[in-house]
Structure 1
Amino acid sequence: MSTLSTHVLDAVRGVPASGIAVEAFARDAEDRWQLVGSGTTDDDGRIPRVAEAPLAPGIHRIVFATADYFAAQHVDAFYPEVAVTFTVDDERHYHVPLLLSPFAFSTYRGS
């Protein structure tokens, strides 16, 4: 069974990004996005289990609500949200980290 976690780091301040709302979606057979889980990053910038149920093979998306995070800090930012789309192709744990700044972001397949 595949599971999903995330970790968000504020690359400008050099700290975990806490309080970011995150939603996870799976693409269904009709090519629509179905919500499969949600959460808010903790004080360490983590959500240990974003999806409520095991992920099925297919295309998935995790969306980070970055506008609210930066607005709370009174920082102008370019990206109101960050969406990362990825493929689940085998049974394993999927970890999607996000390195975030007001005008850039980076992600990778974590472990």
Structure 2
Amino acid sequence: MGRLTTHILDTERGRPASGVEIDLIALRAEGPTVVGSAVTNADGRTDAPILEGEAFVPGEYELHFKVGLYLEAGGRSLPQPKFLDTIVVRFGLSSASEHYHVPLLLSANGYSTYRGS
């Protein structure tokens, strides 16, 4: 069975980003639908896959990483409005039997992502 996992690393501080809310949105013909939500733990990961089992269906998705509060809570001096608040990563799942991992490497002024393992 396929599954989708994620984690967030604060590359500016060299540690996992804990306490970040994440929503998983399925982009369906009838409109965007929230199909999963999680909060990162002390290791910057979700406690369980954000999508797995029968809910894991190939298609287009978005992960919404709500990083604004995390960045503020870290004592950084941020401009208003924040340069980064919610980061949206759109991607496709083409196989119902693979493990997809979408990590986020984060700093207050930028981010990157890739298909991990």
The aligned counterpart of 2:38 is: 39
Q: Percent identity among equivalent residues?
A: 42
Instruction: Report 1:17-36 matches (<5 A).
Output: 17-30=17-30, 32-36=31-35
Letter in 2 for 1:104: G
- State the SS of the aligned residue for 1:64: strand
What does residue 102 of structure 1 align with? 108
Q: Deviations over 1:3-46 (max 9, x none)?
A: 1111100001000000100010111123x110111110000000
Deviation for aligned residue 1:51: 2.5
Show the counterpart of 1:93: 99
Aligned residue for 1:51?
Answer: 51
Q: Are 2:70 and 1:69 equivalent residues in the alignment?
A: yes
Indicate if the aligned counterparts of 2:4 and 2:52 stay in contact, CA closer than 8 A: no
Residue 72 of structure 1: CA displacement? Answer: 1.0
| AA at the equivalent of 1:18 | S
Question: Aligned residue pairs: how many?
Answer: 110
CA distance in 2 between counterparts of 1:52 and 1:34 reads 16
- Structure 2, gaps ≥5 residues long: none
Q: Which residue does the alignment assign to 1:15?
A: 15
Could you tell me which amino acid in structure 1 is paired with residue 23 of structure 2? Answer: E
* Secondary structure of 1:46's aligned partner: coil
Structure 1, gaps ≥5 residues long: none
Residue-by-residue CA offset, 1:35-79 (whole Å, 9 max, x unaligned): 111110000000131136532111011110011101112321511
